[in-house]
Structure 1
Amino acid sequence: MRRLADPLLWLIVLFVALLVAMPWSKPLFAAWFPQLERPLYQQDSFVQLALAHISLVGFSSLLSVIIGVGAGVLVTRHAGREFRSLVETLVAAGQTFPPVAVLAIAVPVIGFGAEPAIIALLLYGLLPILQGTLAGLDAVPASAREIAEGVGMSARQRLWKVELPLAMPVIVAGIRTSVIINIGTAAIASTVGAKTLGSPVIIGLSGFNTAYVIQGALLVALLAIVTDRLFERLLRYLA
């Protein structure tokens, strides 16, 4: 009974139910928007769009985690501390570029599709992960490092067995922020030919079809909420 009362479970069920039921919601949107000839987006399957959206965000976020956490660890080591301000500046500068501008620059070089979107999402998602990694590692008590060194741990052992485990809740919080941002940002990837839940939104905006916009935006928002709750559950477990 406790599991059935879990809000996260019902959010997941609601998201899946909307994906499956959306193709049969034409009468509902036709009643809400009687002036529209095509009140339901039917160019692509909503399930396929959701899977493509999740894959795009997941792959770009994985790259962001590898680069962001790796850079954060590197600049907190003795050999890389002098590069910390430079790395922070470069990553912060990457997020100041609007994703649309990154797509506009990348498309002529790479072409249309998911590749330019991955670059935009990677640049946009790095800063929260880097900041979370730096904050987490800086918050590790000096006494914990001294104890680890006192029992004979090497620098690598101290990092993997002491520093990263203690910093993990803060690092995951940064990853959480990055992923949630990119779920919304990935919607604009449809402007360069990538299939995402933003496809109905982009087509709806260009064709003045409010129903399309609502259908896509509702699913993107619900996906972001579900993902946020999943990260909250993960942070609670780590704590």
Structure 2
Amino acid sequence: MSPLGLVLRLAGLVLLVWLVVQPTAFAGLLALFTRPGQPSVYNQGSLLALTISHLLIVASAIAASALLAVGLAIFVTRPFGVDFLPVSRALANIGQTFPPVAVLALCVPLLGFGTTPTLVALFLYGLLPIFENSLAGLSSVPPPVTEAAKGMGMKPMQRLIGVELPLSMPLMLAGLRLSTTIALSTAAIGSTVAAPTLGEVIIAGLQTGNTAFVVQGGVIVALLAVLIHEGFVALERSQRRRIGL
């Protein structure tokens, strides 16, 4: 990472923390986006609490997506699971078939309003990138490497944990990066069904015609997405160096 890139990332992190913890520090700048009589800083709740809730919802959904997607990828790359690849791929594609808004609309009558419909939508939407990247990673492990591991007396589970997963990790992390970045942005729509996300700030701004609220919510979500994206990129580079790529 170049010194300039590191400085920019640190500046983005400082700006994010400042926006969330001390939003009033930006009142003068945000006032440029308000009409007379409108508040310039979001005043209908805690930005810090909404940010934490937003991150927790995304982390929970993506963790569940990763657990299922990586599990399926491992299963279909074993000799006994090859025949289930089409079914597994169809399952992973479910989330991409319906947009998150449609999933929310279908889930609310069954699950009610709140966080749960948002978790379901993000979980389904995050499956495909993680599954496909995990499948590509596991399938691209060179046969001579696995044969060498067999020759060393390693059992199937030992080969998976000690050889295949480490070699596949850069591609798996790329899938996680894509799903997480998409989920961070998409989670905002969860507030339309009463999920406590940063979408509350954006929706409040749209409902009242207060552009300053929209800017606050949008900038925080964008900074989260960029910083977490860059964090995954750093992890991918580190893993590639570790395995000599």
TM class, shorter-length: over 0.9
The TM-score normalised by the length of structure 2 is: 0.92
Residue 122 (str. 1) matches residue 123 (str. 2): yes
SS at match of 2:40: coil
**Map of 2:219 onto structure 1:** 218
Within-5 A mapping of 1:69-108: 69-108=70-109
SS at match of 1:25: helix
Report the CA distance shift for 1:36/1:217 in structure 2 as closer, same or farther (over 3 A).
farther
For the Cα contact (< 8 Å) 1:198–1:216, is it kept in 2?
yes
Percent of aligned positions that are identical: 43
Report the CA distance shift for 1:225/1:70 in structure 2 as closer, same or farther (over 3 A).
same
1:194 positional shift = 0.9
For the Cα contact (< 8 Å) 2:19–2:26, is it kept in 1?
no
**Map of 1:208 onto structure 2:** 209
1:108 positional shift = 1.3
1: CA distance, partners of 2:59 / 2:166? 23
1: CA distance, partners of 2:214 / 2:33? 13
SS at match of 2:22: helix
- Per-residue CA deviation, residues 109-153 of structure 1 (Å, 9 max, x unaligned), is 111111110000000001000011001011100100110111111
1:203 positional shift = 2.1
Residue 13 (str. 1) matches residue 33 (str. 2): no
2: CA distance, partners of 1:168 / 1:212? 39
1:34 positional shift = 2.8
Q: Which moved more, 1:122-131 or 1:208-217?
A: 208-217
Q: Which moved more, 1:2-11 or 1:202-211?
A: 2-11
Aligned AA (1:158): R
For the Cα contact (< 8 Å) 1:36–1:209, is it kept in 2?
no
Within-5 A mapping of 1:24-35: 24-35=25-36
- Per-residue CA deviation, residues 7-40 of structure 1 (Å, 9 max, x unaligned), is 3322211210111231343343334323462333
Report the CA distance shift for 1:158/1:4 in structure 2 as closer, same or farther (over 3 A).
closer
The TM-score normalised by the length of structure 1 is: 0.94
1: CA distance, partners of 2:5 / 2:83? 52
- Give the total of aligned pairs: 238
Aligned AA (2:63): L
SS at match of 1:158: helix
Aligned AA (2:100): P
- Unpaired runs of 5+ residues, structure 2, are 241-245
Report the CA distance shift for 1:142/1:216 in structure 2 as closer, same or farther (over 3 A).
same
1:4 positional shift = 11
1:227 positional shift = 0.3
For the Cα contact (< 8 Å) 1:23–1:42, is it kept in 2?
no
- Unpaired runs of 5+ residues, structure 1, are none
**Map of 2:165 onto structure 1:** 164
Report the CA distance shift for 1:79/1:110 in structure 2 as closer, same or farther (over 3 A).
same
Within-5 A mapping of 1:134-173: 134-173=135-174
Q: Which moved more, 1:93-102 or 1:25-34?
A: 25-34
